Structure 1
């Protein structure tokens, strides 16, 4: 048994975090994901915020605006093709079909939400079963999924939906999609959220949402109210992985704040 308490020294850097944290309820789905080394890429429609990832597309572009855009695009790419107004109705059909694909793509997206801190009491209350769950620390390194081009910091702003002007999507499609998927109202700022995002052209099968994240687990912290037998169940899953540390959250006396202390258990208890 450990002879002393050790407090975790998590490095918290919201702008460029070394680690990202996932709050979880202790249930069969969570355990199965840990056993299979998988994470769940949730659809936006399943989020607890009905405003999240809402897409508001302004499609009101005149034929002249579409013509100007197409000709500018041709010229910038060194193409001699110039569009006439007579050709625009056919091009508009393509324009509308692509915006419809965008709409469906956003609705079908797979998102794995994380936070930059394991110490937020509201996150424990909302996403870890009122402090009865646990929080996984994932490493964010240069060569893993959490530092890839499809992992983004969520931006918080005015409580209005971002409006996407249809032609703007064609000018910078990736940027415009990410604005939709990573913008939330200021009231959610306490989450300090980052998102790993996967996109599919067609609705994915359920098995595709179960994803093997390329990022090492560094630690797991157990909530203030988590049952000891449940914590030991999780520890036993990783009995052969000595890299993972285990902590328990503790209330800091006379503060509305948490600290993480190294979790203690005996060899006998572990083998039960």
Structure 2
């Protein structure tokens, strides 16, 4: 198993999707399903909230010196051949540049099609980052689910790994693209691309460095269908559930009624000395809260 030091992964979720006309909570059915059935929504990259994510179009419009538009041992796609054959004899530099650009765009579209034939489950190595709670757990009113990560599970497979964060776009040339197709896509005995850093894995597992704080971990699964995603059955247990510092008591009870005593429960607690969260066992938090409430009681001085 790669990255054996990472033994836990976390998924932040909201619990509520609103309230009904009587003011009673309406619970998020995807989250409830995750708890009851141990599933998680795994989404196509073109549904992500970041339009740059998995959308690099890595082949540039202009060819680099030493690049090859076509290689001898890979026939050109019929669209690529038509673009080049459409050039007039004695074409101008501008016409050639335009043809190369069109080939690059066609190839970038093909790369995007390959990427979108996979779905991605996003998790995190962090459970106490305030922004993750704010963005993905209903502003600290939701939960964070902790999964064990073990050998031979779908959290430790070939396409399960941490995200790499970069400032610049990932880029390949035309020859790189064609060699990848020749060796990994079209060859009957092609090399397994899933274990290395290449055209597809770099696209799926690379994000802008601005997202570094998420410490994201991804699981990618093939899904060559037009749907937006599917519910993946997680084949490792839920170890614990962490409640947000604003999670209502009635929502905690809903979670505990579903999972029972098979998991541990923790509470995210606003640190008294630093701008951060402490994560402590639920029963310890209740003891601290009772003590805090009794110590701060000034009701007798208000009479």
**Which bracket does the TM-score occupy, shorter chain normalised?**
0.7 to 0.9
Consecutive unaligned residues of structure 2, counting only runs of 5 or more, are 16-27, 81-105, 185-192, 287-303
Output the TM-score relative to the length of structure 2: 0.67
Change (3 A) 1:95 1:58: farther
| Partners of 2:124 and 2:274 in 1: CA distance | 22
TM-score normalised per structure 1? 0.74
Aligned residue for 1:213?
A: 234
Q: Tell me the CA shift for residue 156 of structure 1.
A: 0.7
What's the counterpart of residue 215 of structure 2?
A: 192
In the TM superposition, residue 187 of structure 1 has moved relative to its aligned partner by 1.1
From 161, 167, 170, the equivalent of 1:152 is 161
Question: Which residue number corresponds to residue 58 of structure 1?
Answer: 59
Measured in 2, the distance between the counterparts of 1:32 and 1:108 equals 25
Q: Secondary structure at the match of 2:71?
A: helix
State the secondary structure of the residue aligned to 1:238: helix
Please identify the structure whose Cα radius of gyration is greater: 2
Equivalent position SS for 2:273: coil
1:181 is matched with 204
After TM superposition, the structure 1 = structure 2 runs for residues 88-103 of structure 1, keeping only pairs within 5 Å, are 91-93=75-77, 101-103=110-112
Q: How many residues matched?
A: 225
Match in the other structure for 2:86: none
8 Å contact kept, 1:56–1:164? no
Structure 1 unaligned regions, length at least 5: 1-13, 71-87, 266-272
SS of alignment partner, residue 257 of structure 2: helix
Alpha-carbon distance between aligned partners in 2 of 1:168 and 1:58, rounded to the nearest angstrom: 13
* Contact 2:57-2:112 at 8 Å conserved across structures: no
Shift, 1:128, TM fit? 0.6
For residues 4 and 206 of structure 2, what CA distance do their matches in structure 1 show? 16
Q: Does 1:229 align with 2:250?
A: yes
Specify the alignment match of 2:7 in structure 1: 18
Looking at structure 2, the residues matched to 22 and 41 of structure 1 have their Cα atoms a distance apart, in angstroms, of 12
Measured against aligned partners, the alpha-carbon deviations of 1:154-201 in whole angstroms (never above 9, x if no partner) come to: 00111x32123323533564432110011111111100110011123x
Q: Which residue of 1 aligns with 2:138?
A: 129
